[in-house]
Structure 1
Amino acid sequence: MSQRVTSRSFRPARIRTRAAVLVAGFGASVALGAGVATAADTTTSGVAHAVQAQAAAQAKAAQAKQAAEAKKAAQAAKAAKAKKAAAKKKAASWVDPVKKYKLSASFAANGGMWASKHSGQDYAIPTGTPVLATHGGTVVKAGPNGAGDGPAYGNAIVIKHGNKTYSQYAHLSKVNVKIGQVVKTGQKIALSGNTGNSSGPHLHFEIRTTPNYGSAVDPVKFLRAKGVNF
């Protein structure tokens, strides 16, 4: 009789134990599931972060490339501009003998001031105006008495430019160069004046095929062909 009672009281205990195990197992499963979910969330977050970092790196690289290309284009444009300016400067290697002037007596004009036709182009300017070398070359004549071409020219200069081309500047008040001196295009070589056979302050300018009187050509036509505007 007592054995049966003992057996019946043991069964509920076993049931409770099994229930506890099941509850514990269920809790472990729930905890394990939560852990798996947390791990999945962490992995997803890491992947997203990596993608964002890669996208940022690619954007930065693209910006750097764009900046480099823009810099390269700017440098190319600057080089092209400099090349164009150099070409323009080279093309304009001949200049007027004075900067501000009024053309007066022209080449081959007739008049009582000359024994024959006028041998050059006159530029009406005040005494003391800077006179410039129209092109680079070597001074072959300089001084009074037309630098050897006669007193009618007053103080004068002749520059050799090569290719049988010479320029002459006359009626000067002051000569700033000497024979044998090399001058550059646009360099000041004298001051204008009223010396020699002159009716007023001006510059007498010639282009010659030799250094001497009698070989002059039309200076305005010559300079225009070299790109000088009047």
Structure 2
Amino acid sequence: MKKTKQLLSLTLALLMTASLSFPASARDLADDFNMNEDGFPGLDSDIPGYEAIFETPVHLMTDEELRQNGLLPDAELQKVKIPIYDYCIVKGTSDYPVYSSSSATEQIGFVSPRERIYVWDNNTNPLYYSIDFKNYGKKDSGYLSKEAIQFPVYGFSRPIRAGRISQDYMVNGHHGIDVAVAEGTPIYAICDGTYTPKVWTAYNPDGSKKTKLVNYGNALTTEFTDNNGITVQVVYGHLSDFEYGEPETELESYREYYDDATSNWTTQSQYAKVYSKGEKIGESGNTGNSSGPHLHFETRKKGNTKVQYDPFKFVVFPDIGY
């Protein structure tokens, strides 16, 4: 028993040491970047050993951060009387009760941080929204406190309308959001703009022949200017098809990150096309460094792609639920 206690004490000490040393490591990384962007320094899981700066996830932003990012908090939305009929996410760090009526006397379920809900109105009740939500796996309706909701303010369309989130933003250093969905599911333009097909392939050492499909595989990119005047680059990764372009369909996909000078994007500039928001631009797939059919949707700073933004800052998707 004495040995067991000693082992337990040693284990706890090691855990405490590790937890105490992490913030210093994070500060070291921030110093190494020589950047002024606020966020969470860390290591990228998509590209092992690659540093990244993750902007605060939307559901954890303070009111000041929301204002700085052009995302009005609820009190300001109430002042300007903006009606809301849209997909939204739940804010904060804990669950919120959902009630059967706006009197809030009977709880019928709950919603969790970053859960997606559909808000039907914004002005009919001073305290609660009428919402659709996923209640123990089934779609249900109820009333939720207005304090719980973060609204998208960009008016963008969802990039995909089916599936479930299999890997969220910043979790274990993950860029963007992954949506697990059947291969061939339509994907859509989130905003008006030019969408460019790109294919990431590896070559023989002499560059004479493509050998495999790597990393993002078949992808589409676009860009837009956010509310702070920053150009945001959008990546749709691991696609099976482009609405306009030539996806790679013959090469085998390499299922680990491929870090070699013989790999590179092939940008199909001749197929760059202007789409309106909501138009179909391609289909989801399982190409490149992908462990199963899904859409990888990433928003990052153009010119410094280490700086990663929470996609929910711009658009909420794919549907209600987890």
**TM value normalised by structure 2:** 0.37
Residue 162 of structure 1 is matched in structure 2 by: 225
Equivalent residue letter for 1:188 = K
Q: Does 1:143 align with 2:205?
A: no
Change in Cα spacing, 1:157 to 1:215, as seen in structure 2 (3 Å) is farther
8 A contact 2:241–2:282 mirrored in 1: yes
Select between 173-182 and 118-127 the one with higher mean Cα deviation: 173-182
Change in Cα spacing, 1:165 to 1:217, as seen in structure 2 (3 Å) is same
Residues 86-105 of structure 1 aligned to structure 2 (within 5 Å): 93-105=155-167
Q: Distance in 2 between matches of 1:88 and 1:172?
A: 30
Q: Percent identity?
A: 35
Q: CA deviation at 1:132?
A: 0.5
Residue 204 of structure 1 is matched in structure 2 by: 296
Change in Cα spacing, 1:123 to 1:132, as seen in structure 2 (3 Å) is same
State which structure, 1 or 2, has the greater radius of gyration over its C-alpha atoms.
1
Q: Which has the higher helix share?
A: 1
Residues 42-81 of structure 1 aligned to structure 2 (within 5 Å): none
Q: CA deviation at 1:213?
A: 4.1
Change in Cα spacing, 1:198 to 1:216, as seen in structure 2 (3 Å) is same
Change in Cα spacing, 1:169 to 1:211, as seen in structure 2 (3 Å) is farther
Residues 104-115 of structure 1 aligned to structure 2 (within 5 Å): 104-110=166-172
8 A contact 2:236–2:298 mirrored in 1: yes
Higher relative contact order (CA 8 A, sep 6+): 2
Change in Cα spacing, 1:100 to 1:229, as seen in structure 2 (3 Å) is closer
Q: CA deviation at 1:229?
A: 6.9
3-state SS of 2:215 partner: helix
Residue 310 of structure 2 is matched in structure 1 by: 218
Q: Distance in 1 between matches of 2:303 and 2:290?
A: 21
Equivalent residue letter for 1:130 = P
Let me know the Cα RMSD of the aligned residues: 3.4
Residue 186 of structure 2 is matched in structure 1 by: 130
Q: Distance in 2 between matches of 1:211 and 1:200?
A: 30
Question: Any stretches of 5+ residues in structure 1 without a counterpart?
Answer: 1-86, 111-116
3-state SS of 1:220 partner: helix
Change in Cα spacing, 1:177 to 1:165, as seen in structure 2 (3 Å) is farther
Residue 241 of structure 2 is matched in structure 1 by: 174
Q: Distance in 2 between matches of 1:120 and 1:191?
A: 18
Equivalent residue letter for 1:96 = R
Q: CA deviation at 1:222?
A: 3.2
Q: Distance in 1 between matches of 2:311 and 2:194?
A: 19
8 A contact 2:162–2:319 mirrored in 1: no
Q: Return structure 1 stretches of 4+ with deviation > 3 angstroms.
A: 177-180, 227-230
3-state SS of 1:152 partner: strand
Q: Does 1:188 align with 2:294?
A: no
Q: Distance in 2 between matches of 1:172 and 1:229?
A: 20
Number of equivalent positions = 135
Change in Cα spacing, 1:208 to 1:177, as seen in structure 2 (3 Å) is farther
Equivalent residue letter for 1:221 = K
3-state SS of 2:240 partner: strand
Q: Distance in 2 between matches of 1:176 and 1:228?
A: 20
Q: CA deviation at 1:211?
A: 6.7
Cα offsets for 1:82-103 (capped at 9, x unmatched): xxxxx989x7731211111211
Q: Distance in 1 between matches of 2:280 and 2:297?
A: 15
Q: Distance in 2 between matches of 1:211 and 1:135?
A: 20
Question: Any stretches of 5+ residues in structure 2 without a counterpart?
Answer: 1-83, 87-152, 202-212, 246-268
